[in-house]
Chain A
């Protein structure tokens, strides 16, 4: 029997998502020890999780027991952290899982989502898996949302969901209030992905609007803020009517007990989190200053923990490879609009120094 015969037709022809290479793999290829690699390619937090997380994991009592399907204790802590009631909060295995669940809930084959590239790749990826169409309204030259274009596309194509990211990945741009208002006035459900919102300001999230708004979903994560990308823990706030249905389709044991314990421990050390965010924000501004001093780089302003740069009159992929040879990993996207760009996470000061040293000599 031919393997492909039994596979869903749309999956067989789908584009794979290209995740970054695991850094052990890159390290081996470069002949370096993993410790000698500076990893600035996945917007991770260079400070890692707060110290309480280690204790929580070392003392994990219930690794052998199934997790609470309702993540009750974590959702209560999240309610205190975000100020929205736990009844409209759902925890997931990363924001990634909540993106997928949201699409599964709203989309039937043939339905569409509206996507505003360049942006995070998972929206288009998940839509393809759900058999949905992707209506693309590219961002403007400055990578802002094209609001007129979105309004026109919504009227013509009737997508059910609009995905917007603030701060946006890969540029770190912020969605201003008036833009959000215009989106919320449309006959769509707005999924606002705030994976990086804490780096724009600890109190700038729009999550507080969700209970007052019947077409806004806000997704957040511990991956960036709390240095827990590996543990896979994110959360979302959903209109109450949507929550009811999400409970039906969520896998009962989606969030591991380790992820829940780590997230709780992180929330207990808000001061530590805020200090690290402040360090990263200060370092971001220093990095942008140093990059803009280089003749061939034009960094974008960023509200996130990364900086996107246009590479002027030189080859962006070559730049990425040159840094890689020095053990520094940054992100290059082989995608429309981005082929002359690179993105670097904001690391510790010594990471910035190492990066800029290589860049200065290139």
Chain B
């Protein structure tokens, strides 16, 4: 008798293992230690979390016990201005994406994405054996609303969810609420990923009361500097929220994330001051980079800046910066090959990026080799 095998699932062949950035290789090339690299490739918050977080983690007596989510759920409801019944805590926004697909889509059904966008929607759709229907954004990265609508109608009944990041990664553009309302009139779940909302754009939370099919996904990874601790949440209609509560693992969020989330929400002034500094720095970077002939920095409402390399490839710039110990994210493919993206850091880190970029550029390429 033969044993069951995993390889009998064709869906596995479509999945590639996630390739983390190879810090050691980058470090080796730059001659620096990995800890000395300036890692601006993952949109992390270089100010780090509220200073109260470390103490809260150390002092929490909760790590030995399976967590209690009620206090954090209530604190988040207050922060977001919604009823607590709408809040579902998740192990990062990433897990919220997975849970939503799990709840709303059966294998073979369709998840719509609007690339270029975060890869997690496609990843989670494939893990859940759903089909992905990409409806590309316009050349200026705004949503192609008529095309989304047409795609949904063409696959009527099969399309279950639409994921829209606002502000979007990698471009930093947010979606006007009236466009979201247009899409919300389609009979599908519209998940608006507001991972960067604290840095700009208008939140869709104000639409929750009017649209049962709206889900807002948020995270503490960016504004609160807690990417490592994994704390995200989804805001949705109470009947749906109770269903997500039913399918999530009973202890999906860890006690450090709970303690850190509460400490953050208790120290909003500090954290918000850091957010304002990042926003100011973002604008400073953008105007400085706009002066470079070979570079076009795009306007952004996130904690990052996307740049187009005029007549060149984003990957070349990323490689040249890596040699200087600065890690940024380049993209592949015809649409995004000319771009690279980097997180806004602390002022001195941003100065280092600006300085490095000032010494690059096509006219200096020869001296690089």
What residues make up the interface of A, taking CB atoms closer than 8 Å to B?
Answer: 1, 3-4, 6-9, 11-12, 14, 16-17, 19-20, 22-25, 39, 42, 44-45, 47-49, 53-55, 57-60, 62-70, 93-94, 96-97, 100, 104-106, 108-109, 122, 129, 131, 160-161, 187-189, 214-215, 223, 227-233, 241-242, 245, 247-254, 256-259, 262
In the bound complex, residues from chain A placing their C-beta under 8 Å from that of B7 are 241, 245
Q: Beyond A14-B247, A66-B44, A256-B256, is A3–B54 a contact (Cβ under 8 Å)?
A: no
- 5 further interface pairs, Cβ-Cβ under 8 Å (given A22-B68, A248-B17): A22-B67, A62-B228, A228-B64, A245-B6, A247-B18
Counted as pairs of residues, one from A and one from B, with CB atoms less than 8 Å apart, the total is 236
Instruction: Identify B15's interface contact among A3, A8, A23, A249, CB under 8 A.
Output: A249
Q: Could you say which interface size class chain B belongs to?
A: 35 or more
Q: Beyond A6-B104, A94-B251, is A258–B246 a contact (Cβ under 8 Å)?
A: no
A-B contact pairs, 24 of them (CB 8 A): A3-B237, A7-B240, A11-B247, A22-B67, A49-B64, A57-B54, A60-B54, A64-B44, A64-B47, A65-B228, A67-B230, A93-B230, A93-B252, A227-B63, A230-B254, A232-B251, A247-B17, A250-B18, A251-B98, A252-B20, A253-B230, A256-B228, A256-B257, A257-B229
Q: Verify if B235 is at the interface (C-beta below 8 Å from A).
A: no
Q: Verify if B286 is at the interface (C-beta below 8 Å from A).
A: no
Q: Verify if B282 is at the interface (C-beta below 8 Å from A).
A: no
In the bound complex, residues from chain A placing their C-beta under 8 Å from that of B12 are 245, 248-249
Query: Which residue, of B62, B69, B70, B229, has the highest number of chain A Cβ atoms within 10 A?
Result: B229
The reply to whether A258 and B17 form a contact with Cβ atoms under 8 Å apart is: no
Interface residues of B in 229-274 (CB under 8 A from A): 229-230, 237, 239-240, 243, 246-247, 249-258, 260
The reply to whether A3 and B228 form a contact with Cβ atoms under 8 Å apart is: no
The reply to whether B103 and A230 form a contact with Cβ atoms under 8 Å apart is: no
Q: Report, nearest first, the 9 A-B pairs whose CB atoms are least far apart.
A: A230-B255, A22-B68, A258-B256, A257-B228, A58-B58, A3-B239, A187-B1, A160-B4, A19-B250
In the bound complex, residues from chain B placing their C-beta under 8 Å from that of A16 are 246
A80 to B239, CA, bound (A): 47
In the bound complex, residues from chain B placing their C-beta under 8 Å from that of A1 are 187, 212-213
The reply to whether A19 and B251 form a contact with Cβ atoms under 8 Å apart is: yes
What residues make up the interface of B, taking CB atoms closer than 8 Å to A?
Answer: 1-7, 9, 12, 15-18, 20, 39, 42, 44-49, 53-55, 57-58, 60-71, 91-92, 94-95, 98, 102-107, 127, 160, 187-189, 212-213, 221, 225-230, 237, 239-240, 243, 246-247, 249-258, 260
Question: How distant is A49 from chain B, measured CB to nearest CB, in Å?
Answer: 6
In the bound complex, residues from chain B placing their C-beta under 8 Å from that of A259 are 254, 256
Question: How distant is A223 from chain B, measured CB to nearest CB, in Å?
Answer: 8
Closest to A154 in B: B1
Instruction: Identify B104's interface contact among A8, A55, A241, CB under 8 A.
Output: A8
Question: How distant is B109 from chain A, measured CB to nearest CB, in Å?
Answer: 9
Question: How distant is B39 from chain A, measured CB to nearest CB, in Å?
Answer: 7
A262 to B256, CA, bound (A): 10
Closest to B69 in A: A22
Instruction: Identify B67's interface contact among A160, A214, A230, CB under 8 A.
Output: A230
The reply to whether B65 and A230 form a contact with Cβ atoms under 8 Å apart is: yes
Closest to A109 in B: B107
In the bound complex, residues from chain B placing their C-beta under 8 Å from that of A228 are 63-64
In the bound complex, residues from chain B placing their C-beta under 8 Å from that of A66 are 42, 44, 221, 227-228
The reply to whether A42 and B229 form a contact with Cβ atoms under 8 Å apart is: no
Q: Beyond A251-B94, A252-B94, is A230–B3 a contact (Cβ under 8 Å)?
A: no
Closest to A28 in B: B70
A56 to B95, CA, bound (A): 26
In the bound complex, residues from chain A placing their C-beta under 8 Å from that of B66 are 19-20, 42, 44, 223, 229-230
The reply to whether B250 and A17 form a contact with Cβ atoms under 8 Å apart is: yes
A215 to B4, CA, bound (A): 9
The reply to whether A253 and B45 form a contact with Cβ atoms under 8 Å apart is: no
Instruction: Identify A189's interface contact among B4, B70, B249, B256, CB under 8 A.
Output: B4
The reply to whether A230 and B62 form a contact with Cβ atoms under 8 Å apart is: yes
Query: Which residue, of B47, B95, B255, has the highest number of chain A Cβ atoms within 10 A?
Result: B255
In the bound complex, residues from chain A placing their C-beta under 8 Å from that of B258 are 230
A253 to B12, CA, bound (A): 20
In the bound complex, residues from chain A placing their C-beta under 8 Å from that of B106 are 8-9, 109, 131
In the bound complex, residues from chain B placing their C-beta under 8 Å from that of A252 are 18, 20, 94
The reply to whether A48 and B42 form a contact with Cβ atoms under 8 Å apart is: no
Closest to A189 in B: B4
